[in-house]
Chains A and B, each alone.
Chain A
Amino acid sequence: MLINTVILFLRDALPILVLVVYLFAHLSPSKSWLLICHVTGAILVLLYINQIQTVSQWFDGIGIELSLWFFQFLVYLLALVLACGLTFFQFSNRHFMFWVAGLMVSLTIVANGSNFILYFDGYLNQSNAVQSMLLGTFLGLGICLSLAILLYFAVRWLKQRVGPRATLSLILIYVTGQLVNALPLLVQVDVIDASATAWSSQNLVSNEFEFGHLFNALFGYQASPSIAQVIVYVLAISIPLSISYWLKPNLSTHEGNK
């Protein structure tokens, strides 16, 4: 149970922190933005959990998978809106960008946070599991926060060396990875067919180990991705980057790029 709790944090909390770090490093919002995002996300996830048994019955029992995939798809679209606004239109309305970024964080909290609540709710029924669960929580949270802080400084350094396009690319890679991670949800309820495995790098970096979870959170690493996942990944990254390169905009020097 202790190990399971730590793994839960690596699998579900780390992606939330990675997104927050990327957005914080790129946009440099205020701390109140951070608080508002998390409070909004917490409220939304509680609402979602409150209705989850109803949601689970939608569309012949595939409601949860569809909704979780839809959240990740929305986050991907919002990332494109954010990139467009910052890149092409040189948006001077920072508040709109912060709203978009905040919505991305809130939706990610809903998609990943729901697992937390279900998990802890399941364990709280076992009185002998509370101590392991608490210890696992502290360990998992500590690991995730440490990684997030290191990542923040790395991303800030990258932004200063390469420019804001680098951090925007990191955000795009992140949201693409999360979108691709959600594809197996559709496969397991037969919305899309499973395709053959493209390759297996289980021997190099397994999904079950620490680096596997870290790489999964950073760029959607899968040890044995399906061909469909690879295709969607490549398209979801290459199309926006191609359009961006094709239009060759002047990247706006918005606040935070000093």
Chain B
Amino acid sequence: MNKFIVYTAIPLGIVSYLFCIPVLAAVSEYHIQLKDHLFFPSIITIPANQKVKLIIDNQDNTPEEFDSFSLNREKVIFANQKVTVFIGPLKPGEYTFFGEYNPNTARGTVVVEHQIREAPDAY
């Protein structure tokens, strides 16, 4: 019985910690427009080691999928809808993203840098 408790309580405790509701700290927002299968802006700069919120506004009449291998993010954005994707905390560098349905045109880069004090809207 004790072994059973140990085998279940500890793992459950670890899993519960992982799934704890995140602390509601202020998260910087960055806006990206998707219009005519192009991301505007195509390059956004965010601070390193911080979680940020990307708000992607699909202004086309067709769906698109925000996809990024390096960011490990994949989100379908239906026509004329907005979605929110959280990224980070990220180390300094460049992380590319693209629209899976229009990969030749819908492309962008997230540039992660140190020492960005403010997080202005991206346009």
Q: Which A residues have a C-beta under 8 Å from some C-beta of B?
A: 1, 4, 53, 56, 61, 64, 118-119, 121-123, 125, 184-185, 187-196, 207-208, 222, 224, 228, 231-232, 235, 239, 242-243, 246
- Which listed residue, A53, A61, A222, A231, touches B18 by the CB 8 Å rule? A231
Does B78 contact A194, Cβ atoms closer than 8 Å?
no
- The number of A-B residue pairs with CB atoms under 8 Å apart is 75
Q: In chain A, what residue has the closest Cβ to B14?
A: A231
- Which listed residue, A119, A190, A235, touches B86 by the CB 8 Å rule? A190
Nearest Cβ in chain B — how far from A153, in angstroms? 31
Q: In chain B, what residue has the closest Cβ to A57?
A: B81
- Which listed residue, B8, B18, B85, B88, touches A192 by the CB 8 Å rule? B18
B15 contacts chain A at the CB level, 8 A cutoff: yes
B120 contacts chain A at the CB level, 8 A cutoff: no
Contact partners of A192 in chain B: CB under 8 A:
18-20, 22
Does B78 contact A122, Cβ atoms closer than 8 Å?
no
Contact of A119 with B89 at beta-carbon distance under 8 Å, contacts A208-B69, A232-B15, A239-B7 already known: no
Does B86 contact A189, Cβ atoms closer than 8 Å?
yes
Contact of A122 with B14 at beta-carbon distance under 8 Å, contacts A53-B78, A184-B73, A207-B69 already known: no
A-B contact pairs, 29 of them (CB 8 A): A4-B100, A4-B103, A56-B81, A118-B65, A118-B76, A119-B65, A119-B101, A122-B62, A122-B63, A122-B64, A122-B65, A122-B100, A123-B101, A125-B62, A184-B72, A188-B74, A188-B75, A188-B85, A190-B27, A192-B18, A194-B89, A222-B72, A224-B72, A228-B18, A232-B15, A232-B18, A235-B11, A235-B14, A239-B11
Nearest Cβ in chain A — how far from B43, in angstroms? 20
B48 contacts chain A at the CB level, 8 A cutoff: no
In the complex, A203 Cα to B73 Cα: how many Å? 20
Does A243 contact B15, Cβ atoms closer than 8 Å?
no
Does B76 contact A64, Cβ atoms closer than 8 Å?
yes
Nearest Cβ in chain B — how far from A186, in angstroms? 8
In the complex, A21 Cα to B90 Cα: how many Å? 38
Contact partners of B65 in chain A: CB under 8 A:
118-119, 122
- Taking A4-B100, A190-B53, A235-B14 as known contacts, 9 extra A-B pairs with beta carbons closer than 8 A to each other, sorted by chain A number, are A1-B103, A56-B81, A121-B63, A122-B62, A122-B63, A188-B73, A193-B51, A194-B86, A232-B15
Q: In chain B, what residue has the closest Cβ to A118?
A: B76
Nearest Cβ in chain B — how far from A232, in angstroms? 7
Contact partners of A123 in chain B: CB under 8 A:
101
Q: In chain B, what residue has the closest Cβ to A184?
A: B72
Does A194 contact B51, Cβ atoms closer than 8 Å?
yes
Does A188 contact B86, Cβ atoms closer than 8 Å?
yes
Contact of A242 with B7 at beta-carbon distance under 8 Å, contacts A4-B100, A56-B78, A232-B18 already known: yes
In the complex, A190 Cα to B83 Cα: how many Å? 13
Q: In chain A, what residue has the closest Cβ to B104?
A: A1
In the complex, A56 Cα to B84 Cα: how many Å? 11
Contact partners of A232 in chain B: CB under 8 A:
15, 18
